[in-house]
Structure 1
Amino acid sequence: MPETESSVVPKYLEENRELSQECKELIPTLPLEKGWVASHLHQYQGFWHTTRQLQGLLSCQNHFQAHHTDLLIVTTPKSGTTWLKAWTYSLLHRHKHHPTNQNHPLLTHNPHFLVPFLELDLYIDNSSVPDLSSLPSPRLFSTHLPFVSLPKSVTQTSCKIVYLCRDPKDAFISLWHFTNSLRLQSMGANSLHEAFHKFCRGVSLYGPFWEHVLEYWQKSLEHPSKIMFMRFEEMKLKPEFVLKELATFVGCPVSREEEEAGVVQEILKLCSFDNLSNLQVNKNGKLSSGEAHQAFFRRGEIGDWKNHLTVEMIQQLDGITEEKLGQHGLRF
């Protein structure tokens, strides 16, 4: 019997799948909003999560033990997460997997497989807690969690954090497209105006956007050796400079010999949007939770918001950004 939309529901839409007793008891006490893809968003520790994400968050907080040598990629959703994962993985493993290697893992695996999300991959399943203690050092993980929700061991160890954000106008447009691509056909699409209203109110995946960014911005100023604050726009406009800064921060600086041999350019070529988006694994593969790899490669450009937002929308988003971030010296 052929699979139909009604008979096959991807895991990311299964809201009540194997929830822990803690999660079941917590949910009724939390503020509730209609979700962008899943039915509900729950506000926990000031930020909005789907039911499955909340389960993963709680499990991650309860069980993840950071090592001093760990590296954690943290991003606001739709800010270049896939790209940063590819960059960081390539840098850390370049001596084992040279960027020109025909068998490089990035040629056959999606970056999200190589750098798993704590709360969306490793701790999402309540029935089993992964044993990560024996993974080789440095261990590389990722998360969208706000700073306030990070497992205590992350903040209490010298585990390093690379944080990436993006102009909120582009982040919003990318999130709108992405979430619509994940909705079942029978659900229809979220209108731009409905999504915009929610985003501005802070009701978005791991939102509010501005509070998420501000926490990490302030912590990066207080602890620059622990948190590197990055912007998508700088990755696009001066990739060689930012890649070398990243390499130094994560503890594997690019040597003069490597630079002269063109290693930086080879990593940038390997991890480029054109290269990654055209690989078969990213054209046809899916994450274990059901999202198509292709959904993570749309445009990867700066300024796509100009093609979608009205003058009034632009003024409103810019006004919120200035009010929330400008007074702290952070502007896009």
Structure 2
Amino acid sequence: MEGQQANEEDKFILSLPRERGWGIPDLYLFQEFWCPSILIKEVNLFQKDFEAKDSDIIVASFPKSGTTWLKALTFAIVNRQCFSSFENHPLLSSNPHELVPAVEFIYRGDVQFPTIEPRLFGTHTPFPSLSKSIMESNCKIIYISRNPFDTFVSAMSFFGKIKLEPLSTLKMEEAFEMYCNGIIEFGPWWSHMLGFWKESIAKPNRVLFLKYEDLKEDANFQVKKIAEFLGFPFTQEEENNNVIESIVKLCSFEKMKNLEVNKSGIIYQFLEKKYFFRKAEMRDWENYFSPFMREKLSKIIEEKLDGSGLSFMI
């Protein structure tokens, strides 16, 4: 029976529209998003089997939008009573993706379910495809977005380093055309952002929508906002003792990139930890984009986000 079911699942997957991936050999158009071939069964299991708790916290993002940073900040904020010493903190000895595991890779068997509450999970799965139990629970979802220009450049660098045979590296022109058509792991990027953006407007107590650029410009303010949203507000005493500043420093790009734990080692069986720490700069896209690319992507952003209230400074 199980073999027959698996065979039917394989047939279903093979019937879906397929494109080559950026870092994964194949992408399948599954529930209106481009799902990596190595995760499509796992996303399906996540939808059917995941049992959300009201205390759960979901850190959601489109790939290469600041995921690692937000995972680190969320873990530090929520667990600051357990790990009040920043000199012996788990983030100094564990990668943020180990402390806040991606739910898709949990179902792949690469990492374990968190056991300590509140449970922290990461996900790249678009909002409409999250598990039914998440939709019906009171768990909190925190989403980080990023300027689509910088997201493209970061994705080009990241996926170009992943060596999953028989995949060859994409040329920038080819990758850009795919990106403009929404063909990228968990894309289209515009519908991914809009799904969480609209839910954050409809249910602001359940979904917090952040921008990477806002975090860069005023991390202290944003960390305080995140803590209040998650139900772990800072006390006046903590503020007086510079706890917010300490968390921002602990989770800073410079600090995390230079930790030994993030310089070597593998996570999710094939991703080197050092791949998650590149530049963390804003407007790095200016070093790569031609005038044609800038104009084309600007028009797509304007068209796709028109009327939504969501915008990005170009």
TM-score of the aligned structures, taking structure 2 as reference length = 0.94
Q: How many correspondences in the alignment?
A: 308
The answer as to whether partners of 2:24 and 2:167 remain within 8 angstroms in 1 is no
Give the corresponding residue for 2:201: 221
| 1:36 Cα offset (Å) | 1.3
| 1:49 Cα offset (Å) | 1.2
Give the corresponding residue for 2:108: 124
Alignment-mate amino acid for residue 209 of structure 1: W
Residues 1:184 and 1:154: Cα distance change in structure 2 (over 3 Å)? closer
| 1:37 Cα offset (Å) | 2.2
Give the corresponding residue for 1:74: 60
Distance 2:156 2:308 in 1: 27
Residues 1:241 and 1:55: Cα distance change in structure 2 (over 3 Å)? same
The answer as to whether partners of 2:22 and 2:175 remain within 8 angstroms in 1 is yes
Q: Percent identity?
A: 39
The answer as to whether partners of 1:286 and 1:292 remain within 8 angstroms in 2 is yes
Give the corresponding residue for 2:151: 171
The answer as to whether partners of 1:147 and 1:216 remain within 8 angstroms in 2 is yes
Q: Which runs of 5+ in 1 are unaligned?
A: 1-18
Does 1:264 pair with 2:244?
yes
Distance 2:269 2:112 in 1: 17
Residues 1:99 and 1:157: Cα distance change in structure 2 (over 3 Å)? same
Alignment-mate amino acid for residue 189 of structure 1: T
Does 1:85 pair with 2:71?
yes
Residues 1:180 and 1:105: Cα distance change in structure 2 (over 3 Å)? same
Residues 1:294 and 1:156: Cα distance change in structure 2 (over 3 Å)? same
Residues 1:53 and 1:183: Cα distance change in structure 2 (over 3 Å)? same
Give the corresponding residue for 2:260: 280
Distance 2:182 2:214 in 1: 25
SS in structure 2 opposite 1:52?
coil
Distance 1:76 1:310 in 2: 24
Give the corresponding residue for 1:4: none
Give the corresponding residue for 2:20: 34
Give the corresponding residue for 2:93: 108
Residues 1:22 and 1:95: Cα distance change in structure 2 (over 3 Å)? farther
CA-to-partner distance for each residue in 1:204-232, whole Å, 9 max, x for gaps? 01000001111111111000000000000
Give the corresponding residue for 2:225: 245
CA-to-partner distance for each residue in 1:61-112, whole Å, 9 max, x for gaps? 1211000111101001000000000000000111111252x22110010000
CA-atom RMSD in angstroms: 1.8
Residues 1:322 and 1:137: Cα distance change in structure 2 (over 3 Å)? same
1:1-332 mapped onto 2 (5 Å cutoff): 20-21=6-7, 23-98=9-84, 100=86, 102-119=87-104, 121-125=105-109, 135-183=115-163, 187-332=167-312
Residues 1:238 and 1:131: Cα distance change in structure 2 (over 3 Å)? closer
Distance 1:110 1:284 in 2: 10
The answer as to whether partners of 2:24 and 2:164 remain within 8 angstroms in 1 is no
The answer as to whether partners of 2:25 and 2:165 remain within 8 angstroms in 1 is no
Q: Which runs of 5+ in 2 are unaligned?
A: none
CA-to-partner distance for each residue in 1:172-222, whole Å, 9 max, x for gaps? 110011000113698542111110000100100100000111111111100
Distance 2:244 2:306 in 1: 34
Residues 1:311 and 1:44: Cα distance change in structure 2 (over 3 Å)? same
Distance 2:144 2:9 in 1: 29
Distance 1:249 1:174 in 2: 28
| 1:131 Cα offset (Å) | 6.5
The answer as to whether partners of 2:25 and 2:164 remain within 8 angstroms in 1 is no
Distance 1:219 1:75 in 2: 14
Distance 2:84 2:311 in 1: 37
